Amino acid sequence: MDRLLYSRKEAAERLSVSISTLDMLLARGKLPSRKIGRKRLIPHAALVAFSQKNLTQLWPPISTTGGKTWTAGQDRNKAS
């Protein structure tokens, strides 16, 4: 089971980005967070939503042999 909230370091690891990149996303409002005491915490749902929303922007469709294309996160065998 996934945790509900992640620290900045844990969230950066989950998104495979540096902490400074995560801080930039937080500062620009691209990723919501909650401050509890002195800790800045990022909800699990926000990480999932961010990664799904930005997946196609980060990895556009790629051509494969045979003229078929597929998008990251899509099964290559079912590509159209």
Interval 13-55: pLDDT, tens: 999 899 999 999 999 998 999 999 999 999 999 999 988 887 6
Length of the chain: 80
The Cα 2–Cα 61 span in angstroms is: 29
Q: What angle, 0 to 180 degrees and rounded to 10, lies between the N-to-C axes of helices 19-27 and 8-15?
A: 100
- 23, burial (CB in 10 Å: exposed 0-12, middle 13-18, buried 19+): middle
Q: What angle, 0 to 180 degrees and rounded to 10, lies between the N-to-C axes of helices 8-15 and 44-58?
A: 30
Class of domain 1-58 (CATH, top level): mainly alpha
pLDDT at 52: 82
pLDDT at 79: 47
Q: Which residue has the higher pLDDT, 27 or 70?
A: 27
Is the per-residue pLDDT at 64 higher than 60?
no
C-beta separation of 52 from 46 below 8 A: no
